[in-house]
Chains A and B, each alone.
Chain A
Amino acid sequence: MLEVRELSVGYGPVTALHAVSFDALPGTITAVLGANGAGKTTLLRTLSGLVRARHGSARFAGDELLGRPVETIARAGVAHVPEGRGIIEELTVAENLELAALWRLGRRDRRAAIAATFETLPRLGTFRDRRASGLSGGERQMLAVGRALVTQPRLLLLDEPSLGLAPLVTAQLMAILADKTAGSEMVVVLVEQNARSALSVSTRAVVLDLGEVVADDESAAVAADVDLRRHYLGY
């Protein structure tokens, strides 16, 4: 379980997150929603150690995440799919996956996990040995998500995975996510602009506005709250 408590983060004079608290449970997807600049990316970057927090704590399975180096957090099983292109373009598709699994799995498990990823995402399999720079936007996003899943993470942080994807592909992606999460021990934090599709797969939703939590509830309840939707989610 991920427990975020009173988390505050700032960049110089800018306060990006202010006393943010929420929980995310294993085997469920927790959606983090909000307008541009709400602090969603900052939240994920803080959890994976890229940005230092000012106050607060973020405990995962009882261990404090804050204050530890990025690499240590990653090796402990936190997979972060960053906003935009997170793939390494100069490496091949297979090398991207191999690199991700390097510190999580042994040599044999690695090979099996990579093969399994190509089974789930057959399109990627056809590009195996091609440089990732040659992939289309959607394929890149598939690779980024596949690369996160290949590590068999305990905590998965996704930053706007649907960005730039066709609605059909978005739906496919969400289905894969829901499928991988259900029945697993994985904690998934899904940051989305596309609130509708995020709410459709998530169990709980946290709505941020200007760095503060304005709602933290069951996804269904958030989706049903017309005022909240109008105000913060824009649909």
Chain B
Amino acid sequence: MASLDASGTARGAGAGDAIDAPGSGRAGGSRTPRRLRLPRQPMLRHLALAAAGAALCYLVTSLLSPYNDVLAGEIGLYVVALAGLSVLTGMSGQISLGHGAFMAVGAYTAALLANHTGLDLALQLLAAAGTAAVLGAVVGLPATRLRGPYLAGMTLLLALALPPIADRWNSLFGGDQGLVTTPPTAPGDLNAQQWLADIELWLAILTLVVVANLVRSRFGRAFRAVRDDEVAAALAGVHVARTKVIAFVVAAACGGLAGGLLGLTTGVVSTGEFPLTLSIQLLAAMVLGGAGSLVGAWWGAVLLVYLPEWSSSLAGDLQLGAGTSAYLATIIFGAVLIVAMIAAPGGIQGSLRLCWAYVGSRRGGAGTGDAVRGDAVGGDAVRSGAMAGGERPLQDRAPSSGGPAAPRGAAGSPGSAPNVQSNESSNSDG
């Protein structure tokens, strides 16, 4: 918390333009990197970046083939979902194995509204996010009293329990056949795939802007405080239960929006679209991208979309049967997840930051912008993820050894940063 306060006070002293490049302050002395990362109006900077990003997306999608447009659009919708999950798990420390359930709720909401009311697309998607958010609040309430594996188990059960409801009342939900959706009509002579991809990517960017501002607000600070130490957060005046529910609501809303978009992409909403594996893959992608990092959401989404593609071409190269190749992606996904958790809990984004920090420290400068954090230099411990735009990475290294009064006791604190290597010998097998 202390450092967050410090950055808060440094904000007023921030020099220069809203879009000031972080590296340009190199001459300003040792304190400058922190100051420059937080320009006076982050909102403005974000909006400018977002506008540029949106234009870039439009350019890219117009160059891509319709098939690749679909993939690009999927990346966009997964970014939306992963951003929410990142807030929930990476920032507020609550693990969810049931993110697919929120997507299902969003998808069915949007599809039902489209089929029965002919509501505007924007309103459909808003309703999708809203309904999922309500479910998020409902789930978040009991979740406020749970942590770690308990919450994981409960959300896992949620992911398994919701889809059968649609099968049970199949006259409303369309049963196995599902509900057919109509993609939005493209303006002018754009093709439908490109237009949908543009919408999805723009919504991804919009989501990121909203979430990035949220995590910089007092809510974001509350999320991290609760994640790092609930008791301390409560003592510092944070309303722990409310904070946890808000994190759930944000995550669920993102999931719902992503679900609505998924329905549009696949053209049909059925229970088969939301198996347990979807929830698991979302969590895996979020972790692999970098828990708590909004940039990591992009990495995760790319993985989700392209890993099946790559692995089926790999299976082709290896001349595996069609039956086997379908599972190759799953196996790779799981194996990478395990290895990453053991070797690089920071995920892609966390590892990249470490690399940059390493390169930066080799150059002997602390001024390589966002990549170098005071606490990332030296690479003594891989940290899990880092916030987009220069917030602190997951911070809680549980002390692995204390006095005997608290012997390795804090190992239960949430967050996914590994411990500092201490010389405490912990492997008990001689």
A and B touch in the complex (CB under 8 A): yes
Q: Enumerate chain A interface residues (CB-CB to B < 8 A).
A: 10-12, 41, 45, 49-52, 54, 68-72, 82-84, 86, 159
Q: How far is the CB of B207 from chain A (nearest CB, A)?
A: 41
Mark interface residues in B402-421 (1 if CB within 8 Å of A CB, else 0): 01110000000000000010
| CB–CB A159/B404 < 8 A | yes
Query: Quick one: which of B377-407 are within 8 Å of A by CB?
Result: 401, 403-405
Checking A11, A52, A54, A82 against B425 with a beta-carbon cut-off of 8 angstroms, the contacting residue is A52
Q: How far is the CB of B423 from chain A (nearest CB, A)?
A: 4
Checking A41, A51, A86 against B424 with a beta-carbon cut-off of 8 angstroms, the contacting residue is A51
Interface membership of B430, Cβ < 8 A: yes
Interface of A is mostly: loop
Query: Which A-B residue pairs are the 6 nearest by beta carbons?
Result: A69-B430, A82-B404, A52-B423, A83-B404, A84-B405, A84-B404
A-B contact pairs, 16 of them (CB 8 A): A11-B423, A41-B404, A45-B404, A49-B425, A50-B424, A51-B423, A51-B424, A51-B425, A52-B424, A54-B423, A69-B429, A69-B430, A71-B430, A83-B404, A84-B404, A86-B404
Q: How far is the CB of A71 from chain B (nearest CB, A)?
A: 6
Q: How far is the CB of A132 from chain B (nearest CB, A)?
A: 16
| B423 contact set on A, CB distance < 8 A | 10-11, 51-52, 54
| CB–CB B405/A83 < 8 A | yes
| B425 contact set on A, CB distance < 8 A | 49-52, 69-70
Q: Enumerate chain B interface residues (CB-CB to A < 8 A).
A: 401, 403-405, 420, 422-425, 428-430
| CB–CB B403/A41 < 8 A | yes
| B428 contact set on A, CB distance < 8 A | 69-71
| CB–CB B422/A68 < 8 A | no
Q: How far is the CB of B430 from chain A (nearest CB, A)?
A: 4
Starting from the known contacts A12-B422, A50-B424, A84-B405, 16 additional A-B residue pairs (CB-CB under 8 Å) come to: A11-B401, A41-B403, A51-B423, A51-B425, A52-B423, A52-B424, A54-B423, A69-B425, A69-B428, A69-B430, A70-B425, A71-B428, A71-B430, A82-B404, A83-B404, A84-B403
Per the bound structure, the CA–CA distance linking A70 and B407 in Å amounts to: 15
| CB–CB A68/B405 < 8 A | no
Whether A11 contacts B422 in the complex (CB less than 8 A), given A68-B430, A70-B428, comes out as yes
| B429 contact set on A, CB distance < 8 A | 69
| A49 contact set on B, CB distance < 8 A | 425
Q: How far is the CB of B6 from chain A (nearest CB, A)?
A: 23
| B430 contact set on A, CB distance < 8 A | 68-69, 71-72
| A10 contact set on B, CB distance < 8 A | 423
Per the bound structure, the CA–CA distance linking A11 and B428 in Å amounts to: 19
Per the bound structure, the CA–CA distance linking A48 and B291 in Å amounts to: 39
| A68 contact set on B, CB distance < 8 A | 430
| A12 contact set on B, CB distance < 8 A | 420, 422
Per the bound structure, the CA–CA distance linking A82 and B428 in Å amounts to: 18
| A71 contact set on B, CB distance < 8 A | 428, 430
Q: How far is the CB of A102 from chain B (nearest CB, A)?
A: 16
Checking A52, A54, A72, A83 against B403 with a beta-carbon cut-off of 8 angstroms, the contacting residue is A83
Per the bound structure, the CA–CA distance linking A83 and B429 in Å amounts to: 24
